[in-house]
Amino acid sequence: MTQPFLPLTARSREESHRVATPLELFFDLCFVVAVAQAGAELVHAVAEGHAGQGIANYAMIFFAIWWAWMNFSWFASAYDNDDVLYRIITLLQIAGVLILAAGVTRAFEEHDFLVVYIGYVVMRLAMASQWLRAAHHATAPAERTMCRRYAGGVLVVQVGWLALLLAPEPARPWVFLVMALAEMAVPVYAEKDAPSNWHPHHIAERYGLFTIIVLGETVAAATVAVKTGIAENDALGEVLPIAAGGLLLVFSAWWIYFVVPAHDRLTSSRQGFLWGYGHYVIFASAAAVGAGLEIAVEQAVGKAHLSTLAASAAVTIPSAVFLLSVWLLHARYFKVGIAQQLVLPVASFAILMCSFAGRWAVLAAGIVAAVTVAVGVTLTARNPRTRATAETA
C-alpha cells in the first residue's frame, strides 16, 4: 500500500530491475495529448500556407512539452519514492500539460501564448516543489546544493518566460531561443558539482517508451487522415500510396531506434546531457512525420493549399531528420566499418530526394526506409565484430 509521506531520497544507480512505473506510463500518455494538439495545429498552419509561422509555433510549444516531460523523467529516475505526495504533485504536472494542450489552438491561430504559459508554469512549479522536497531530505551537502540549484533555476527561468507574452510578435522567436538556452543551462549548472542518481536503464526505457507513444500517435493521426480522405473524397487511389509509405516509415523508424542498446551510451552525466537534449529533435521529428502524412493526404484530395513537392517534403524532411538524429545520438557508436556507418546518413539523403517523386514520394520514402532496415540487418549479420558487440551489450 502506498504510504502518505516518505523521505524523498536518492535511489541507487545500481538498482536492479529498475523499470517504468504505471504513474510514469500515465504521465507519458497524457503528455502525448499535448503533442497531438501541436501536430494537429501544425497541419492546419501548413495546409493554409503558413508553414513558416506554423513550424516556429510548433517548435516552441513542442519544446515546452518535451522539456517538462524530460525534467520529470530524469528527476523520477533519481528520486521516485511513490508516496502519496509524490503522486499528487505528479498528477498536478499532468494537469499542467492538459492546460497547455488547451491553449495550443489559440497560440497557433491568435499568437496568444497565455494559456500555454499558465500550463507550463503549473508543470514547472510542481517540478520545483519536488526538487525542494528532495533538498529537504538530502543527507549530503553537495546533493542538497544540487537540488536547490534545480529549484531556484526552474523558478527564475519561469519569470523570464513572461517575456514571451510581453514581447512584440517579431521578437518572440528570439525570446524563445534565449529562454530555451536558459532552461537547458539549469541542469548543467545544478549538476556541475554533484550529479543526480539517474538510472541508465530506466532513462533509456523511459525515452524508448515515449518514442513508441509518439510513433503511435503518428500512426493514429495518419489513419484518421486516410480514413477521412477515403470517406469524404472517395480518393482511395490517391491516399493508398501515402498510407503504405507512411506505415513503412513508422515501422522502419521503430526498428532503427531500437536496434541498438541505448543505455550503453549513458555512462556519464556529460553523455546523459547530450543524449537527453538531443532527443528533442527525435521526438519532434517523429511527431512531425504524422503531421506531414496528414498534410500529404489533404493535398492529395485537394484540401491543402500547397504544391505536391511541399506536401511531400512535409513527410520526407522530418523522416530524414529522425533517421539522422538517431544515428548521431547513439546508433553510430554501435556500427562497425564504413558500410554500416554510412547506411543511415545515405538513407536520410535518399529519403529527402524522394520529395521529387510527385504523388509517389511518400511511398518511395517508405520503401527507402524499409530497404535501409534490410541493409542494416544484412550488414550486421555478415560482420562478426558487430554481432560480438551486440552480444556484449
Query: For the segment 325-335, what is each residue's pLDDT rounded down to a tens digit?
Result: 999 988 787 77
Considering the domain architecture, whether residues 135 and 70 belong to the same structural domain is answered as yes
> Quick one: how far is CA 205 from the chain centroid?
14
Residue 154: pLDDT band with limits 50, 70, 90: very high
- Chain centre distance of CA 279: 6
* CA atoms in the 13 A half-sphere facing the CB of 13: 11
Sequence-ordered list of residues with C-beta below 8 angstroms from that of 163, at least 6 positions apart, any chain: 175, 179
Residue of higher predicted confidence among 152 and 164:
152
Instruction: Give the burial string for 81-105 (b: 16+ CB within 10 Å, else e).
Output: beeebbeebbeebbebbbbbbbbbe
| pLDDT tens per residue, range 274-284 | 888 999 999 99
Report the domain count for the chain: 2
Q: Which three cell numbers stand for residue 369?
A: 526506409
Q: Is residue 6 part of a domain?
A: no
Q: Do 173 and 209 reside in the same domain of the chain? A: no
Same domain flag for 137 and 276: no
Q: What is the pLDDT of residue 386?
A: 53
pLDDT > 90 in the chain, percent: 60
Q: Are residues 99 and 225 in the same domain?
A: no
- Using a 10 angstrom Cβ sphere, with 0-12 exposed, 13-18 middle and 19 or more buried, the burial of residue 208 is middle
Whether 242 and 279 map to the same domain: the answer is yes
Domain check: are 83 and 220 in the same one? Answer: no
Domain with residue 290: its CATH number is 1.20.1410
Question: Could you report the per-residue pLDDT of 77-124, keeping only the tens digit for each?
Answer: 999 998 999 999 999 999 999 999 999 999 998 888 999 999 999 999
Boundary of a domain, candidates 146, 164, 190: 190
Q: Which domain holds residue 141?
A: 22-190
Q: What is the pLDDT of residues 234-287, one digit of tens each?
A: 777 888 899 999 999 999 999 999 987 777 777 766 777 888 899 999 999 999
pLDDT of 187 strictly over 60 = yes
Q: Which residues of 255-289 are buried (b: 16+ CB within 10 A; e: fewer)?
A: bbbebbebbbbbeebebbbebbbebbbbbbbbbbb
